Amino acid sequence: MVSLTRGTGEIRTRTGLGRGWRLVACWLAVFLPVGQALAEDGHDLWLRYVPVQEAQAAAYRADISELVVTASTPTARATRDELQRGLQGLLGAAPPQAGKVGRDGALLVGTPASSPQLAALKLDLKALGEEGYLIRSVRIGGHPATAIAANTDVGALYGAFHFLRLIQTAQPLQALDIREAPRLKVRVLNHWDNLDRHVERGYAGESIWDWHRLPGWKDPRYTDYARANASIGINGTVLNNVNSNAQSLTPMYLEKAAALAGVFRPYGIKVYLSARFSAPMEIGGLKTADPLDPAVRRWWKAKADEVYRAIPDFGGFLVKANSEGQPGPQDYGRSHVDGANMLAEALAPHGGIVMWRAFVYSHEQPDDRAKQAYSEFVPFDGKFARNVLVQVKNGAIDFQPREPFHPLFGAMPKTPLMMEFQITKEYLGFATHLAYLGPMYEETLRADTQVRGPGSTVARVIDGTLDGHALTGMAGVANIGSDRNWSGSHFDQANWFAFGRLAWNPHLGAEDIAREWAKMTFSTDPAVVEPVVAMMMGSREAVVDYMTPLGLHHLMGRGHHYGPAPWDAGSERADWDPVYYHRADRNGIGFDRGSHGSNAVAQYAPPVAAQFDDVAQVPEQFLLWFHHVPWEHRLKSGRPLWDELIAHYDRGVDYVAGMRRTWDGLAGKIDPERHAQVAAFLAIQQQEAQWWRDASIAYWQSLNGLPLPAGHAPPPKPLDYYQSLKFPYAPGNG
């Protein structure tokens, strides 16, 4: 498959460029000046493989004189094809293929089992496991060469992508000695895609899975999806929504899932399915889904056998149970352990796992929704089956712009916990707001639980090193859809990229990842990279400032989560309403989760709890998450809370205006198609940031009656105007 995304559109053929397209390519080569920024639609993501500067290309071509890959398996062929594709695009010509190293500068790729020349090098690969790889400068038969070696073909594929990334980011290829292995075993995307192709909390078009045409038509886009995921080390995908449909487990849809699994398999990606807990009743004809009922257990075992007959390398089930109306074991007076272990028992003979979500809240009104997952899961620590991962969101509420780390991390040392991040920006401006989530992921992963003393970070909880777990994982709620640029906006691709890199190694730095992505996506020119990275690194904090500063949270419009609605109240459940979370009145604002309030702080280790419980010590970014404080409360700046809140709102809006100026200054350095869309989206973001600021201030003033501090403009419209705005068709709603 050849993809050409320059000029006026995309050109695809099954076997290569036909005669007519060769003529077009020649015409472009003659009439377009070298290096001109051509229109791009974002489909190629960070795998653009555009030509590097000629002097650099010549140096790289000298380092890669021939390509030696034994392509005897589908994965090895995918590796060879990717290297040919990448080197052709980057260097202007792919090196010739050879059966063995025969000249200086050869690139030798494979495993000791597939390559006698690699075997003869006796490289130490033991610690790399099944997915790790080694990239090393070596000598073979007196010739200097580069070896990409692994224990498996998938490891070699990952190494090939890393090697191409070196060229894409303008790194030297001499004296290489790179050893990489994933820190987490299960690195998956969670697609909240429905069988009708609607994507819950999706802002990039409809689902990429064309269920109606599967299994007969396997869209080439599925291969591009697999390539993109493999390039950043993602090794699994959950195809369907956690609010699942039992039809996904019927023979018709298993056949469709098997077709996707066949496309993904060469790229090391396993298919998983969200399992509806009541499936034995809905498609199995049983009268109950009680996990302790023998007939129900037999049904799930038979269903697991059926799934594995269709998909021999099936990964397992993801389950959302007894949350937001979904069925689960508590419907029958059973526990999460009863439900998870029943499914684990069915999957265990096949090597499958259960990812059991800890995002739950009770049917009854709790005193504090943030406490429920801890209360329901901690008593069962150590009782889950060995092939169960408890999947925990990064924070205790629901993917807010900022939350303290979930108290479950560190509280269940006998149970492997799997991180769940959201890539799609349900609460951070959908696809139109530029909000690079790498710093948010990093903030959570580096948070110190202190359960084993200082250094007991969340990253060490989930990578298994803190408590000795072998089964580890990270999940990301995907932002992928049918839009040509996959994620709804070009910068939202960075969040998919950052998730994959951090799932591979949760100890990486968000800024390093941003710089890598910017070089691969836009340009290696420092005049582009540095301002783009600077924009990205402050963008999430700006969203926090203009939406939910100082620990405020869940102030978005009910249901659709679009726009500010801090006044919203009156739901059938109080904890669906913003007023439940900010508790603002004439005297103060914030949710008291301290020892004199809901005492949610007690769910953290004592040193962390003591810090969060003390209004003088709690980090100000979490002040109103843990404390209800007076409007006149003095912050570290010396300003009262009210003045500080206004300063944060204005700082957020100003940052977006600054991003617009920066991006405008990159005109001519970024291809015009992508530059224009980003510019338009930044204009939307500035307008909506101002709306957030004005509507929020108008509402707080209606409660506290305080004047604005000097130098800060009042909202241009009265509160009732902001309250009158309705958005019944906002995208991505369930």
Residue in 398, 467, 511, 614 annotated catalytic:
398
545 assigned to active site: no
Give residue for tokens 């059926």: 306
Q: Tell me the two tokens of residue 72.
A: 């005897």
324 assigned to active site: yes
426 assigned to active site: yes
Residue 678 corresponds to which amino acid? V
Judged by DSSP in three states, 204 sits in coil
Give residue for tokens 């990489």: 180
Please state, in angstroms and rounded to a whole number, the distance separating the CA atoms of residues 213 and 133. Answer: 37
Q: Tell me the two tokens of residue 33.
A: 């000046």
Q: Which residues contact 11 (CB under 8 A, 6 or more apart)?
A: 2, 3, 4, 17, 21, 24
Please confirm whether the linkage preceding 144 is cis (ω < 30° from 0). Answer: no
Specify the long-range contacts of residues 254-260, CB closer than 8 Å, at least 24 apart. 254/306, 254/307, 254/310, 254/311, 255/214, 255/215, 255/310, 256/211, 256/214, 256/215, 257/310, 257/311, 258/215, 258/310, 258/311, 259/214, 259/215, 259/218, 260/209, 260/214, 260/218, 260/222
Torsion angle of the four alpha carbons 347, 353, 358, 361, in this order, in degrees rounded to the nearest 10: -30
The three-point CA angle 536-539-544 to 5° equals 155
Please state, in angstroms and rounded to a whole number, the distance separating the CA atoms of residues 694 and 714. Answer: 7
Q: What is the DSSP letter of 448?
A: B
Residue 98 corresponds to which amino acid? A
Q: Tell me the two tokens of residue 197.
A: 């192709």
Please state, in angstroms and rounded to a whole number, the distance separating the CA atoms of residues 85 and 90. Answer: 9
Please state, in angstroms and rounded to a whole number, the distance separating the CA atoms of residues 640 and 644. Answer: 6
| DSSP-assigned states of every residue in 523-538 | -S-HHHHHHHHHHHHH
Closest alpha carbon to 235 in 266, 195, 214:
266
Closest alpha carbon to 473 in 180, 188, 247:
188
Please state, in angstroms and rounded to a whole number, the distance separating the CA atoms of residues 585 and 576. Answer: 19
Give residue for tokens 């029958």: 332
Please state, in angstroms and rounded to a whole number, the distance separating the CA atoms of residues 302 and 537. Answer: 49
Residue in 54, 196, 324, 585 annotated catalytic:
324
Residue in 44, 224, 420, 426 annotated catalytic:
426
Give residue for tokens 């309705």: 726
CA 628 from centroid of its chain's CA atoms: 33
Closest alpha carbon to 44 in 84, 4, 93:
4
- E-state strands within 159-297: 177-180, 186-190, 236-238, 270-274
Q: What is the 3-state secondary structure (H, E, C) of 306-325?
A: HHHHHCCCCCEEEECCCCCC
CA distances from 426 to 49, 429, 555, 564, 733 (A): 31, 7, 13, 13, 9
The answer to whether the beta carbons of residues 332 and 286 sit under 8 Å apart is no
Q: What is the DSSP letter of 104?
A: T
CA distances from 540 to 3, 182, 194, 244, 400 (A): 33, 27, 29, 31, 11
Please state, in angstroms and rounded to a whole number, the distance separating the CA atoms of residues 68 and 47. Answer: 22
Q: Which residues contact 22 (CB under 8 A, 6 or more apart)?
A: none
| DSSP-assigned states of every residue in 645-705 | HHHHHHHHHHHHHHHHHHHHTTBTTB-HHHHHHHHHHHHHHHHHHHHHHHHHHHHHHHHH-
Catalytic positions are 324, 398, 426
